[in-house]
């Protein structure tokens, strides 16, 4: 691959994965702050809903050597990897980065993404480094997660499993995490962190090929989780007390995020 007749070779590439609400976007924002000043980094963000929010939060970074591209509205690993390849190729040609970080949606299939990124077309173009998976240890008490093949797949392909939000965990959560790792991933590197503080050095750890086996994801996840995206005109103003009461009353909602114009301003 070339850019202005200059070869694009051996771009360090990482995937930062994890389930909904585990802190991936916060972690990447903090990694951007740890970037060496001379390095150009590009970040590809895939949003689950039709309106990208996480990408906009990252775009607040004004560093000229940091480029954020978001792909809202679904999973970049679908359709034989073509949406992913198109987005990656555009980023490489436009920015010629030293490092490429990919954040799949919380319901993205990292095994398929890795398969696309390690395809022959990217030989000598991408230099796959560690895949990091963030995990909220509190979720290990929820059978919806433990029985989700996608949740497990995210950790199967990871080179390092990182327990995040540990400041919210009790001693039993920590014991559950240790037991879970010992039973399934005793040979993987693990970390226990707070506030999504990933170490920059982890990005350069070795990536172990974990995509030789085809993914066999069932529809079990889809039977447990689904998404709804709503759009409102810019002149719609919600009553602050009413909308906050409505949000607080929601039950069975795993993740709720958005930007709303209310009688007390934007929330």
Same-domain status, 171 and 244: no
| pTM attached to this predicted model | 0.76
On the CB side of 2, how many CA atoms lie within 13 Å of its CA?
3
Same-domain status, 136 and 258: no
Same-domain status, 178 and 243: no
Same-domain status, 137 and 264: no
With 80 as the cut, is the pLDDT of residue 58 above it?
no
Residue 216: per-residue pLDDT: 42
| Mean pLDDT score, 178-200 | 96
Same-domain status, 196 and 252: no
Same-domain status, 265 and 157: no
Residue 84: per-residue pLDDT: 82
Same-domain status, 193 and 217: yes
Rounded to whole angstroms, what are the CA distances from 93 to 85, 90, 127, 229? 12, 5, 16, 32
Same-domain status, 132 and 258: no
Residue 6: per-residue pLDDT: 66
Identify the band that residue 71 occupies on the pLDDT scale cut at 50, 70 and 90.
confident
CATH number at residue 140: 3.40.50.300
Same-domain status, 22 and 100: yes
Q: Which domain holds residue 251?
A: 232-267
Contact 234, 261 (CB under 8 A): yes
The tens digit of pLDDT for each residue in 8-33 reads: 999 999 999 998 889 999 999 999 99
Contacts of 193 (CB under 8 A, 6+ apart): 162, 163, 164, 166
Choose between 107 and 67: higher pLDDT.
67
Same-domain status, 256 and 135: no
Identify the band that residue 223 occupies on the pLDDT scale cut at 50, 70 and 90.
very low
Same-domain status, 14 and 88: yes
% of the chain beyond a pLDDT of 70: 75
Residue with tokens 């070795």: 206
Specify the pairing of strand 11-18 against strand 41-46: unpaired
Same-domain status, 242 and 216: no
Report how many domains make up the chain: 2
Residue 206, φ and ψ in degrees, nearest 5: -70, 140
């Amino acid at each position: 691959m070339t850019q202005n007749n200059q070869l694009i070779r051996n771009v360090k590439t990482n995937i930062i994965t994890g389930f909904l609400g585990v802190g991936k976007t916060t972690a990447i924002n903090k990694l951007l702050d740890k970037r060496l000043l001379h390095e150009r980094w590009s970040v590809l963000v895939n949003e689950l809903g039709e309106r990208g929010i996480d990408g906009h939060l990252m775009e607040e970074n004004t560093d000229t050597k940091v480029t954020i591209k978001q792909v809202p509205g679904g999973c970049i690993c679908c359709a034989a990897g073509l949406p992913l390849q198109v987005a990656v190729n555009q980023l490489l040609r436009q920015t010629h980065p030293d490092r490429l970080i990919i954040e799949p949606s919380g319901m993205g299939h990292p095994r398929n993404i890795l398969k696309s990124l390690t395809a022959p077309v990217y030989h000598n173009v991408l230099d796959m480094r560690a895949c990091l998976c963030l995990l909220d240890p509190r979720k290990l008490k929820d059978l919806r997660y433990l029985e989700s093949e996608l949740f497990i797949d995210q950790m199967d392909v990871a080179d390092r499993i990182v327990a995040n939000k540990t400041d919210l965990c009790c001693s039993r959560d920590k014991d559950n995490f240790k037991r879970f790792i010992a039973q399934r991933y005793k040979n993987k590197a693990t970390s226990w962190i707070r506030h999504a503080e990933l170490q920059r050095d982890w990005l350069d750890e070795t990536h172990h090929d974990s995509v030789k086996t085809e993914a066999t994801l069932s529809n079990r996840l889809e039977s447990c989780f689904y998404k709804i995206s709503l759009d409102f005109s810019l002149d719609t103003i919600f009553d602050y007390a009413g909308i906050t009461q409505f949000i607080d009353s929601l039950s069975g909602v795993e993740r709720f995020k958005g930007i709303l114009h209310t009688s007390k301003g934007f929330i």
